[in-house]
Amino acid sequence: MSKIDELIQQYCPNGVEYKTLGDICHLVRGRVMSKDYLRDNAGEFPVYSSQTVNNGIFGYINSFDFDSESITWTTDGANAGSVFYHVNEQFSITNVCGLIRVLNKNEINTKFIYYVLQIEAKSYVYSGMGNPKLMSNVMGTISIPIPPLEVQEEIVRILDKFTELTAELTAELTARQKQYEYYRDQLLTFGDEVEWKTLGEVAEIGTGSHDTQDAIEDGRYIFYARGREPLSLNTFDFDEVAIITAGDGVGVGKVFHYAQGKYALHQRAYRIVPNKSIETRFLYFYIISYFYSYIQKTAVNSSVTSLRKPMLLKFPIPIPHLSEQARIVAILDKFDALTNSITEGLPREIELRQKQYEYYRDKLLSFSKKIEA
């Protein structure tokens, strides 16, 4: 029997009491803070808002509203229901965030509540009128299991171990990605010592014939459109190895796909198929490294919303000897697998650890409800 099982058997063998979040915590909304306000009051204390990137940090100001152990959540927008834990920190929140503070820490562990809300909060989000919301009055109705404090603390200890391991793997991935980018830049920097040609001279470039609405579920062949996620069709257009880049939309100038075999292609996505003078993987690495910055520099507008074929045709490509291309590809392929592969390397390990964490979190936080006599 595990320690957590022993504690449950000792302290709550007949289930636990459930209370609403509003009964055990104080909930408060943040205040309106514009970017101008942040600029005029710049300082060292973080301001959290609705975003999830950068841990939700919107900016920094010279004062703070909160300095105790607490939980914040996003009240509005696409990230509504996302929760964040804060301890040993002085900070503020905007009006699209709420803050949760435990009323009695002798009975309730704040981080235990945080882990429960990771599971429950999203299911209380209201998505009507096209703007997801989770306001304080609804957040306060979430039902929370209240096992004895000793059980709460043991669950937090176990789940913290999982999150620490994931954090270590994520930090390792970040370091490897920086290392990969360094070596990629070093290996793909050329001068007059090699021949240069345009992309149009070393590759066939064309588009597909399909529209996004042609996609079906569970089609036999991959359908590359303009986004990061591939679709599917029951027919294919090409059977080859090719580099795929979007012709318009948010993916302009970026390479999301490396096609191998039979596939269908969107009418506003480009396929790039090199000739025998250049290794396909070498060209792939060079394009993902330099093409986006190239089109940004050559574009008339400040932002590129559409990629035309002449821009592709004129992109300059270095042509080192094929043996040198192969050497570079061998090195970069190893880094690519380690930092980007979803079937091997660190991303795969992080995904597995996250699934393991979610499994044990859900299992540990499932309590039977105590039946009152």
Furthest-apart CA atoms within the chain: distance in Å = 87
In a domain, 338, yes or no: no
Asked if 206 contacts 245 with a C-beta cutoff of 8 angstroms, the reply is no
Same domain, 124 and 239: no
The answer, yes or no, to whether residue 300 has pLDDT greater than 70, is no
CA distances from 18 to 15, 23, 117, 181 (A): 10, 10, 14, 50
Q: Does any domain span residue 162?
A: no
pLDDT in tens, 165-180: 888 888 888 888 888 8
Instruction: Dump pLDDT digits (tens) for 19-28.
Output: 999 999 999 9
List the beta bridge partners of residue 263: 222, 238
**In total, how many domains does the chain have?**
2
Least confident of 186-190, 226-230, 244-248, 293-297: 293-297
Assign residue 224 a region (left: φ > 0; alpha: ψ between -120 and 50; beta: otherwise): beta
CB contact set of 324 (below 8 Å; sequence gap of 6+): none
Is 365 contained in some domain? no
| pLDDT value of position 1 | 46
Alpha carbons 170 and 164: distance in angstroms, whole number:
10
Residue 366 lies in a domain: no
Please provide the average confidence, as pLDDT, over all residues in the chain.
89
Which pTM does this prediction carry?
Answer: 0.68
Q: Is the residue at 28 inside a domain? A: yes
pLDDT on residue 372: 64
At residue 133, what is the residue type?
Answer: K
Q: How far apart are CA 230 and CA 193, in angstroms?
A: 39
| pLDDT at residue number 299 | 59
Instruction: Point out the least confidently predicted range of 55-69, 87-101, 180-194, 245-259.
Output: 245-259
Answer whether residue 302 shows pLDDT above 60.
no
Of 15, 48, 56, 43, nearest in space to 31 by CA: 48
Indicate the pLDDT class of residue 367, thresholds 50, 70 and 90.
confident
At 222 the pLDDT is 95
Asked whether residue 5 carries a pLDDT value surpassing 80, the answer given is no
pLDDT at 335: 87
Site of tokens 């003078």:
277
H or E, element range at 158: helix 149-187
pLDDT, position 304: 55
Checking if the pLDDT of 303 tops 60, the result is no
Owning domain of residue 213: 195-319
For residue 112, the model assigns a pLDDT of 96
C-alpha 199/C-alpha 271 separation (Å) is: 12
**In a domain? residue 84:** yes
Report the CATH number that the domain containing residue 298 is assigned in CATH.
3.90.220.20
- 73 vs 12, 57, 128, 250, CA distance in Å? 30, 12, 19, 28
Domain boundary, last residue among 270, 300, 319: 319
Domain identity same for 130 and 207? no
Is 26 or 356 the better-scoring residue by pLDDT? 26
Calculate the alpha carbon distances from 117 to 17, 82, 187, 320 in Å.
17, 9, 47, 55
The neighbouring-strand residues paired with 198 are: 316
126 and 230: one domain?
no
How large a percentage of the chain has pLDDT more than 90?
A: 62
Does 115 share its domain with 207? no
Of residues 303 and 217, more confidence is placed in: 217
Residue 275 half-sphere exposure, CB side, CA atoms within 13 Å? 12
